[in-house]
Amino acid sequence: MPFYNFGVSQHFKTWVDLVIAAAGPTTPVLKGKPTVLVTVRGGYGPGTPREAWDHSTPYLRRILADVWEADLTVIERELTIAATTPGMESLRDLAAELRSRALEEADKVGAGIATA
Ligand SMILES: Cc1cc2nc3c(=O)[nH]c(=O)nc-3n(C[C@H](O)[C@H](O)[C@H](O)COP(=O)(O)O)c2cc1C
């Protein structure tokens, strides 16, 4: 999931609205299903000065885990724009490390689901 202008992608939001319109607002359509949410963003993660500016991840958790009752794993990757954005040069090494970490985590979670 991309992070667009401090909020959730409108494409995903539209899909959520369609599912809820069809299934009802409280139907747990993913009950117990292993579900992986992979999010990317510039850098608004826990502990950063603009943590509260991430209006996407909490919403996604609300819908997937709380409303739809998915068995949810969240993989977060930050600083995705560091490699191409002027002024973020000093963050490029950290961005590369976060990318590797997210890929490793995704591999592990994916393998776990595949073998379950
Ligand atoms: C229209 C648009 C708005 C974005 N707004 C933000 C933002 O507010 N904060 C942020 O950290 N990243 C923002 N990004 C970066 C994306 O969250 C993401 O890092 C990047 O788009 C990688 O996903 P993609 O290759 O699918 O575009 C934005 C990207 C786009 C295209």
Q: pLDDT tens for residues 8-60?
A: 999 999 999 999 999 999 999 999 999 999 999 988 877 777 888 999 999 99
Q: What pLDDT does residue 55 have? A: 94
Number of Cα atoms under 13 Å in the Cβ half of residue 77 = 21
- Report the predicted TM-score, pTM, of the whole model to 2 decimal places: 0.90
Asked if residue 113 has pLDDT above 80, the reply is yes
Residues in contact with ligand 1 by the CB-under-6-Å rule are: 2-6, 40-42, 80-81
Measured between alpha carbons, how far is 111 from 106 in angstroms, rounded to an integer? 8
Instruction: Report angle CA 97, 102, 106 to the nearest 5 degrees.
Output: 150
Q: What pLDDT does residue 44 have? A: 82
Task: Tell me the β-bridge partners of 41.
Answer: 78
Pocket probe mutation, ligand 1, options 1, 9, 38, 41, max atoms within 8 Å of Cβ: 41
Q: What pLDDT does residue 106 have? A: 96
Q: How many CB atoms lie within 10 A of CB 8?
A: 22
What is the distance in A from the centroid of ligand 1 to the CA of 107? 23
Region 62-78 average pLDDT: 97
